[in-house]
Chain A
Amino acid sequence: MHKDTLTELSASLGARRISARELAEYYLERIERFDPALNAFVTVTPEQALKEADAADRRIADGTATPLTGIPLAHKDIFCTAGIKTSCSSRMLDNFISPYDATVVARLKDAGAVLLGKTNMDEFAMGSSNETSYYGPVRNPWDHERVPGGSSGGSAAAVTASLCSAATGTDTGGSIRQPAALTGLTGIKPTYGRVSRYGMIAFASSLDQAGTLTRSAADAALLLQVMAGFDANDSTSLPDPVPNYPDELQTPWEKLRIGVPENFFDDGLDADNAAAVRASLEVFEKLGATIKNVRLDHIHLSVPAYYVVAPAEASSNLSRYDGVRYGYRAEGSDDLLELYMRSRGEGFGAEVKRRILTGTYVLSTGYYDAYYLQAQKVRQLIAEDFARAFTEVDLLAGPTTPTPAFPIGQKVGDPIQMYLNDIYTIGANLAGLPAMSVPCGFVDGLPVGLQLIGPHLAESRLLKAAHYFQLETDWHRRLPAAYA
């Protein structure tokens, strides 16, 4: 049962081969058994899950069910959940009970999905290995000595180990795609603004976007169908109508022109990883796609541009955590400045502090033009490169990460090495483009991902390409032996 995709579970629930309650109990039992070793969950909500499961069974019985009714899900702990601790894996919010639901949470709840719990992550989504969490690192189900990627590492590990059927994630610089690649999952980051950011705790507002970590593109289509769409509470939410993603998957294949950015295959990319990606391009050729090389002339500047823009926005977004209205407050501060300094100094971890200080620096007098403004101009150049490429091709394809999952502790001491993990994924965030990672092979027994990037609002095209790829391959069906 836990080998099933969300799509298959949805069919079983619809056909009454299994009840939502049985399903919830089954996954809760797996969480109890496996999570102590994985540390994928920050909070598990059994009572609420079973209540929601029973409600789901009633909906299935009275015929008001949706394809997601009764599906056991987990939310990244960055999404606000009413009445449930919402920590962002930070000591700062360790005591924070959200009084409201994020739009994503509310929509999935309305569809009848069952929430099993909140998943571990890099603190405030700042990290690429899940090692910056206040609650400790998450283990990669394929190799417990290795990272699952980040920042949505808990969601990735939970789905990979079948502790839930699918999970939500957020992607500011690759935080859905990179962990998906390192754990053998399908991860999609939609177009900026396609999914509401309301109730999703902000890291970098002009880059953040919610998405999913699932076993297949078909599963992602079902979830995105519910998550996507206009939200009056988010000024940057797109009003454009949402296509029927699941139906679009079933439409016949049209000849795609796939562009391969040469500079994604430079010496930074692991040779075996590169080989796996090249091999998957042949699958698309067999499907009748034409492959053509393209150049993204400024993509090499995406990491420096990102590490100016993201920290700048983060330094401001995280100023609200001051120990006055909610969250961590240092004891015994009798002076206001001391209260601020200590509450924030003790409440935030090392990486979050580095990002806040970097952002404070690049926005400060004398440096704004040289760093922040220059980064915005480079961002423009990078976006124009993508726009130019999409006049010649329908999709871009390349690696998601430079290497497979790396050992826990290997890069945590070296921010620059850590930041370079996002070298292929950051571009899509800077340009606001939809992108996904699809399992495309293994290197030394560790999964690696193929990244697909599309033009604005091309989610259907991305999902369909991934779906047809997954009809031809079975990488996405492989499970870690310990969890099979």
Chain B
Amino acid sequence: MCFDCEFCAVPLTPEDVQKLCTLARLEIGPEEIGDLSAKLSDIVRLAGELQAQDTAGVAPMAHPLDRPQRLRPDTVTETDTRELFQQNAPLVEQGLYLVPKVIE
């Protein structure tokens, strides 16, 4: 591995990982955070190997298919299947999905 650029060398501190957990909405127990930070640092270092490659003038490849988006006609094909779908829902009332109060 290369450690000569900032991206490979920098490990993630538990604080960094805690921030990521909040951004990704993942609760991590305090006992896990140390080991998790170490493992994520290893993964980020592995990813850091990319830095050694010169990619000047290379077009990023977002997708394996080099084709245009196909368009569908503007027609309504769906019917009301709320009852079926809401059988999977943890908490519904009057056809609405319930979540703890959202404050705006």
Whether chain A touches chain B in the assembled complex (some CB pair under 8 Å): yes
CB <8 Å contact, A416 and B46: yes
**How far is B48's CA from A303's CA once the two chains are assembled, in angstroms?**
11
Residue of A nearest to B39 (CB): A415
Task: Looking at the assembled complex, report how far the CB atom of B55 sits from the nearest CB atom of chain A, in whole angstroms.
Answer: 4
- A266-291 contacts to B (CB < 8 Å): none
CB <8 Å contact, B42 and A99: no
Residue of B nearest to A230 (CB): B70
CB <8 Å contact, A378 and B39: no
Of B25, B36, B46, the contact of A344 (CB 8 Å cutoff): B25
**How far is B24's CA from A345's CA once the two chains are assembled, in angstroms?**
10
**How far is B91's CA from A333's CA once the two chains are assembled, in angstroms?**
12
CB <8 Å contact, B90 and A324: yes
Q: Given that A206-B62, A357-B17, A361-B12 are known contacts, is A370 also in contact with B23, CB under 8 Å in the complex?
A: no
**How far is B20's CA from A235's CA once the two chains are assembled, in angstroms?**
31
- A79-129 contacts to B (CB < 8 Å): 95-97, 99
User: What is the count of residue pairs linking A and B with beta-carbon distances less than 8 angstroms?
Assistant: 165
Task: Looking at the assembled complex, report how far the CB atom of A198 sits from the nearest CB atom of chain B, in whole angstroms.
Answer: 13
CB <8 Å contact, A301 and B26: no
Does A65 interact with chain B (Cβ within 8 Å)? no
Give B54-77 as 1s and 0s: 1 = Cβ < 8 Å from A's Cβ atoms.
010011111111000110100000
CB <8 Å contact, B97 and A235: no
CB <8 Å contact, B21 and A357: yes
Secondary structure at chain A's binding surface: helix, strand, loop or mixed? helix
Task: Looking at the assembled complex, report how far the CB atom of B49 sits from the nearest CB atom of chain A, in whole angstroms.
Answer: 4
Does B51 interact with chain A (Cβ within 8 Å)? yes
On chain A, the residues within 8 Å of B65 by CB distance are 192-193, 236, 238, 432
Of B22, B59, B63, the contact of A206 (CB 8 Å cutoff): B63
Residue of B nearest to A238 (CB): B65
On chain B, the residues within 8 Å of A357 by CB distance are 17, 20-21, 24, 26, 36, 40
**How far is B97's CA from A206's CA once the two chains are assembled, in angstroms?**
31
CB <8 Å contact, B49 and A379: no
CB <8 Å contact, B91 and A329: yes
CB <8 Å contact, A416 and B42: yes
Pick the most buried of B17, B36, B88: most chain A CB atoms within 10 A of its CB.
B88
On chain B, the residues within 8 Å of A61 by CB distance are none
Does A374 interact with chain B (Cβ within 8 Å)? yes
Of A346, A383, A415, the contact of B61 (CB 8 Å cutoff): A383
Task: Looking at the assembled complex, report how far the CB atom of B83 sits from the nearest CB atom of chain A, in whole angstroms.
Answer: 10
CB <8 Å contact, A304 and B100: no
On chain A, the residues within 8 Å of B88 by CB distance are 95-97, 99, 325-327
14 A-B pairs besides A327-B88, A346-B27 with CB distance below 8 A are A206-B63, A236-B63, A304-B47, A304-B49, A307-B43, A307-B47, A324-B90, A348-B26, A353-B28, A358-B40, A358-B44, A376-B60, A376-B62, A431-B64
List the 6 closest pairs (A to B, CB-CB), nearest first: A432-B64, A345-B27, A376-B60, A326-B88, A377-B55, A329-B90
A-B residue pairs in contact (CB < 8 Å), sample of 25: A96-B88, A97-B88, A192-B64, A236-B63, A301-B49, A304-B46, A307-B46, A319-B25, A325-B97, A329-B90, A336-B102, A344-B24, A354-B36, A358-B40, A360-B23, A361-B44, A362-B47, A376-B60, A376-B62, A378-B50, A380-B59, A381-B55, A416-B43, A419-B43, A419-B46
